[in-house]
Structure 1
Amino acid sequence: MTMAAFNISDSALVFNTYQMYLKSGFDTLKSHLQIAQARNFVSGIKLVRGAYIYVEPKRASIIHDNKVDCDNAYDAAVELLLRGKQFEGNEYPKPWTAEVMLATHNMNSVEKALNIYIQQDMSRTSITGTQKLVFAQLMGMADEITMKLASRLQAMGEKSGLGVYKYTVWGSLEDCLLYMLRRAEENQDAAARSRVTAVLMLKEIGTRLRFWRS
């Protein structure tokens, strides 16, 4: 396992993507945390709902039946990662640690995760759980979520282990097409968010104009 070879210091160099639209997603995540706990390395976790749903073989049997179930699975994984719960039966007495990227365009998931993280006592990393949490949205999509997160984190001042990023795909059109089509489908509700985005953009323009005039 590559993580066991490279994630042996206090931070994660190698990350694995966990796609929570798969019915097996939560159990896979849990089993990998147990391995990290047993072998004493940091888990690098990128948590997504799923990018390749239409190319999955026999999808009816392996993916969640509806979006609600998928959302619940995603939120359950966030709860496990951020609340630092020990596993049933305490199979591994040593704690597990992880660095987590939540790559999501779902504002509810973002707010839930950030609130849970803030509520946790900062000493939790010496016991078990997530020692670093960052959020990411695709370049050109869900900018209102990224801006709101950046604004909130800035208002909080320096807080170890929190961050927000924009990311982009890289490669040929053929390589990236399925990924981008999935992202576009997931963001069909973008029109409903357009008013919020427009207001935030206007506020940002106003802020920058005031800066240059001062």
Structure 2
Amino acid sequence: METIAGKARDNNVRIVIDAEQTWYQPVIDALTDELMQKYNALDGGPATCIASFQAYLRRYPQLLDQQIQRADEKGYKLLFKQVRGAYMVTEAERWEREGHEGLGPVWSTKEETDASYNYGIERALSTIAEQVRETGASRLGAVFATHNSISVDLGIRLLEKYGLAKRQEENGKLLLSKEAAGSIAFAQLYGMKDDLTNKITGSIEAPGGFALVVKSMSYGDLRECLPFLARRATENKAVLEGRGGAMAERIRLGREIRRRLTPLN
């Protein structure tokens, strides 16, 4: 990890350290924190390392509060990608198999997970706004990786509420402040939820060419990429089911195909 982070710093790119199951996560958290202290130091140039936080964990709200406080105390910039989480089934199976009593490490319902995720959005944006007011710059950066339109709508509203973006009279779009630009982004998987991606880009602009929404994609030949894409589809099963999921996506794609094939009058 040290070698990878060093190479990333030398080439002026960032690395995202992924999150895994809870029985691996404490070690990953410790390594990530050590790397951020070294490669995200406030006086050490551009920040390099991005942590991954899982909102479906019961400990997440407290963990986020602790990480923000720790970054302030240790003097490094906290960068993180926030996801809902991908291992709900295996976490529950292991908890039951090992005979644990009480509540498992993962929230029991989607509503609880959504509340935890949305807490992360509000906590991050309010912290960025506070830092900008106090120092004129942000020491926190967050990528909200989500296919949930309610969470995206919340994020857009909070940007305006906390003064991180102002609505432009000429086009009605929000314009992100220059102090917050580069510290906030949304993310979706490439090939999924393009309607949500387009909604974000149609609602907010950022100065200086900063991206406000990014698409995660695999790179390589089919043999290398297919397992990754299959896993992502499995992990995002809830997104692909029911209203607003695969059915709605097929309708949108079919409409676009027909539009492109229909001759202009």
TM-score (norm 2): 0.62
* Residue 127 (structure 2) aligns with: 84
Pair 1:182 & 2:212 matched:
no
What is the aligned-residue RMSD (CA, Å)? 3.7
Query: Which of the residues 130, 151, 167 maps onto 2:216?
Result: 167
| Equivalent pair of 2:178/2:207 in contact (CA under 8 Å) | no
Query: Aligned to 2:187, what secondary structure does the other structure show?
Result: strand
Shift in alpha-carbon separation, 1:196–1:177, aligned structure 2, 3 A? closer
> Number of residues paired by the alignment?
199
| Equivalent pair of 2:56/2:85 in contact (CA under 8 Å) | yes
- Distance across 2 between alignment mates of 1:197 and 1:82: 32
Q: Which stretches in structure 1 are left out of the alignment for 5+ residues?
A: 87-93
Pair 1:49 & 2:84 matched:
yes
Opposite residue 42 of structure 1, the aligned amino acid is K
Shift in alpha-carbon separation, 1:172–1:85, aligned structure 2, 3 A? closer
| Equivalent pair of 1:134/1:162 in contact (CA under 8 Å) | yes
Cα displacement (A) at 1:163: 0.9
Shifted more, 170-179 versus 39-48: the winner is 170-179
* Residue 118 (structure 2) aligns with: 75
Opposite residue 95 of structure 2, the aligned amino acid is K
Q: Deviations over 1:70-94 (max 9, x none)?
A: 10111111111111289xxxxxxx9
- Distance across 1 between alignment mates of 2:147 and 2:250: 16
Shift in alpha-carbon separation, 1:42–1:200, aligned structure 2, 3 A? farther
TM-score (norm 1): 0.74
* Residue 135 (structure 1) aligns with: 186
Query: Which of the residues 132, 140, 150 maps onto 1:98?
Result: 140
> Bigger relative contact order, structure 1 or 2, given CA contacts below 8 A and separation 6+?
1
Cα displacement (A) at 1:197: 3.2
Opposite residue 147 of structure 2, the aligned amino acid is H
Query: Aligned to 2:49, what secondary structure does the other structure show?
Result: coil
Shift in alpha-carbon separation, 1:197–1:137, aligned structure 2, 3 A? same
Q: How does 1:1-214 map to 2 (within 5 A)?
A: 1-8=34-41, 9=44, 11-56=46-91, 57-58=94-95, 61-84=104-127, 97-122=139-164, 132-153=183-204, 156=205, 158=207, 163-169=212-218, 173=226, 177-189=230-242, 190-191=245-246, 193-194=248-249, 197-198=252-253, 201=256
- Distance across 2 between alignment mates of 1:52 and 1:196: 29
| Equivalent pair of 1:134/1:161 in contact (CA under 8 Å) | no
Shifted more, 77-86 versus 30-39: the winner is 77-86
Q: Which stretches in structure 2 are left out of the alignment for 5+ residues?
A: 1-33, 97-102, 130-134, 166-176
Opposite residue 68 of structure 1, the aligned amino acid is E
Q: Deviations over 1:170-213 (max 9, x none)?
A: 656556654431123443131453387359847x96xxx99xxx
| Equivalent pair of 2:39/2:49 in contact (CA under 8 Å) | yes
Query: Aligned to 2:65, what secondary structure does the other structure show?
Result: helix
Shift in alpha-carbon separation, 1:162–1:112, aligned structure 2, 3 A? farther
